[in-house]
RNA sequence: GGAGUGAGUCGGGCGGUCGCUGGUGACUUCGGUUGCUGGAGGAAAGUCCGGGCUCCACAGGAGACGGUGGUGGGUAACGCCCACCGUUCGUGAGAAUAGGGAAAGUGCAGCAGAGAACAGACCGCCGAUGGCCCCGGCAUGAAAGUGUCGGGGCACAGGUAAGGGUGAAACGGUGCGGUAAGAGCGCACCAGCGGAAUGGGUGACCAUGCCGGCUUGGUAAACCCCACCGGGAGCAAGAUCAAGCAGAGAGAAGCGGCUUGCCGCACGGUUUUUCCGAACCGUCCGACUCUCGGGUCGAUCGCGUCGAGGGGACUGGCAACAGUCCUCCCAGAGAAAUGACCGUCCACGACAAAACCCGGCUUACAGACUCACUCCGUUU
RNA sequence: AGCCCGGUGGUGUAACGGUAGCACAACGGAUUUUGAUUCCGUCAGUUUGGGUUCAAAUCCCGGCCGGGCUA
């Protein structure tokens, strides 16, 4: 990802998503996690210089519409908060079962928990301010 | 105006900002950037049927197993749809209907009840006939008695399914005759069953009268019989390419002889060494290279411009639907695209999101609207 | 996404179409100084809606819930 483009700060290209099952398994195997009332996050550093997210929404959240709703809110939260999220990590986001999820809640949890994981990692990480 | 029945349509709108994604054009440092444009449903759902498509299997027939079950149409096909018939429900518009066969055969019916399937006598009724008892007459006899006729009684044999009660169901109903009491025992009408006939209908079936024996029950979503249909699996099907790993063959650097572990020659390495030559070791495995077929991760196709497609008009048909012409191209992802925020309007937005594609069925659903029809009330 | 199973008290399980049993658990009582054990009793169920049948946990058709297999 050394190439630089005039890409908007709020964009969300497909390169920022974890796409393969082996990547998911690696993140789970690292067992670095942080959580609160609305979210549970697994994380580990990658060597890409960019942070990626993967989503895992269980059937407990309801039907396909309810599950899609939560995934979209999480993606939106990530997209709008990319400046505040540490770079160079793979995160797997698992929402907890909540009746009415909100974008605000997901954004604040996402920022707080990803920073928590990044701080915990002893490996040298560069942060965005 | 109220209540309702049936069929159908829609299922938040508009504007802005930031994003995602397919197609296409331009630019490109080949990473992308950018213009235009498309981007969930009536059920996308449940996966209950039917097809297309793909692979596997496959001579034909019968049987087994499974499914369907009024009739006639529609359809690629169906368990779907349309029209009609029968039955049941509703004042009605209409609704529901797995609706072939029980006089092919087998089985089943708890409890209650007297009796439950070519049934049955508990109470009741009768007791004509037979039996027993009493009284009287006559005959016979010396008498006891016996026989016979008449009258009365008992309810013993027995007769009786009209009445009671049980049950989901009790072997037709009403009336007259009949009888000891009764009974389709006889007759009339009604209901039901069977038969042939006439008329209508393609048909299911309907209508009409006639004849028959007087009755032959229920259950096949029990086994079964009859008719018709069905090969199996499913896009995680399947096809192409193919890291890695494993396999086979060949090569580099081995062949020959026989006494089968030795000899001969060839080659490679080490030592001695300028070279030749000599001595020793090796030419076994492994590694390496090439080829081959199979094939995992992954990639591409399947896969969405072309379909049993959508819209419109006309024609045929009661309709489902079919035909002709014109017109349109209308989601295509792959950890999986439609979202977020702001403003604004209103009946404040239900159920719910494609994953190979179609035709149905079933189930969920805030509300809004259209058409046709029925009943009740009011006015004229 | 496709395919395939199952559902009986709180739990584990029985029941040719004919009164839904059994064990454990829970509760109450007796025995015991108390508790355990033992004995007696009580409570509680066919996942749900229809249909067939005189009668359905059972047969048939939908819904709901749970589980499994296929990369």
Which nucleotide C1' is nearest A76 CA? Answer: B340
Q: A21-58 pLDDT, tens per residue?
A: 778 878 888 888 898 888 899 888 887 778 888 888 88
**Residue A23 within a domain:** yes
**Residue A126 within a domain:** no
Q: What percent of chain A has pLDDT over 90?
A: 8
Our CA dihedral for A50, A67, A101, A79, rounded to 10 degrees, sits at 20
Q: Which residue has the tokens 């996690």?
A: A33
**Residue A6 within a domain:** no
ipTM given for this complex:
0.80
CATH number at residue A72: 3.30.230.10
CA-to-C1' span, A82 to B361 (A): 49
pLDDT value at residue A127 = 41
**Residue A111 within a domain:** yes
| Residue numbers of the domain that contains A39 | 14-120
**Residue A67 within a domain:** yes
**Residue A95 within a domain:** yes
What does the radius of gyration of chain A's CA atoms come to, in whole angstroms?
14
- Please tell me the total count of domains within chain A: 1
CA-to-C1' span, A12 to B35 (A): 21
Give the global pTM: 0.77
């Amino acid at each position: 990802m050394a190439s630089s483009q005039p890409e908007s700060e709020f964009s969300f290209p497909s390169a920022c998503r974890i796409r393969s099952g082996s990547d998911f398994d690696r993140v789970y195997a690292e067992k670095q996690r942080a959580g609160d009332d609305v979210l549970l996050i697994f994380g580990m550093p990658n060597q890409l210089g960019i942070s990626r997210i993967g989503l895992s929404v269980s059937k407990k959240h309801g039907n396909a519409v309810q599950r899609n709703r939560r995934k979209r809110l999480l993606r939106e939260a990530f997209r709008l908060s990319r400046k505040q999220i540490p770079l160079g990590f793979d995160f797997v986001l698992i929402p907890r079962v909540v009746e009415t999820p909100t974008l605000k809640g997901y954004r604040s949890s996402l920022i707080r928990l990803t920073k928590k994981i990044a701080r915990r990692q002893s490996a040298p990480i560069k942060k965005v301010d």
